[in-house]
Structure 1
């Protein structure tokens, strides 16, 4: 991270929207994450279920994170979960602790809301984020959503 000041999450605003939309991961990671524009469209059509934020450090937008809140995974009311929906760290900002910061910030927000588990899904693959999530303490489950693995972090 750039300064002695801690990074922070900010709501998406007209002032930071273009910087958020410009975020790009490394080319070999593109298979594993949707563009920020796609995430913001999903947030728009799921008000109250999506919690999108930019990650800002020293006045720069270095990433994007979006949580899902009390989302019905089966569309029948039997499996309501909260967790990490999207995480994008700019290619040249990776490896500096911003991803860890974002996951911890989502975990803290979910704890504040009374949630006891944080769910995440990821695409498997050589350049996918599985090792990142496992290093943070997520437990890989046998469950899959579409072609993605599911992990759970106990809060």
Structure 2
């Protein structure tokens, strides 16, 4: 992957973003699309959505949430969703997407970014650790809360 770049999610890229494939077993770690869409409708100004393209091909989708007034500390600056196409996994698209979110968080003057995920074999924990997130606790639902200092 040599031509990676980030673009805002648009009418031109949404179908490709919704069509990203997963490796077998990963679907159990992804929240339903309807849940993700509901969040955007509820807070469109606080949601940052982008696609990662390799040349002209959408290879990943990333959503972050920024709300410095959130009563839930770990949701003030959070990587909310990252989907990397099965064929692009392990080739740098995920790290590129996380770096884009980190750059946006820094631009907003934030000092940390969090992510919430379910632990388990085949889950995203190894990826999040590789890109610098460290577990700091659990959500009220028993999910792992991890953070990266900016």
1:84-125 Cα shifts (integer Å, max 9, x gaps) = 000000111100001111111100100000000000011110
Tell me if the contact between 2:52 and 2:61 (Cα under 8 Å) persists in the aligned partners: yes
What is the number of equivalent residue pairs in this alignment?
149
- Where does structure 1 lack aligned partners over 5 or more consecutive residues? none
- TM-score, scaled relative to structure 2: 0.90
Tell me if the contact between 1:63 and 1:90 (Cα under 8 Å) persists in the aligned partners: yes
2:41 is aligned, of 41, 44, 56, to: 44
Distance 2:71 2:26 in 1: 25
Aligned to 2:81: 86
RMSD in angstroms over aligned alpha carbons?
1.9
- Where does structure 2 lack aligned partners over 5 or more consecutive residues? none
Structure 1 stretches of 4+ moved >3 Å:
35-38
Question: Partner of 1:119: helix, strand, or coil?
Answer: strand
Please tell me whether residue 63 in structure 1 is matched to residue 60 in structure 2.
yes
Distance 1:107 1:128 in 2: 21
CA separation of 1:26 and 1:110: change in aligned 2, threshold 3 A: same
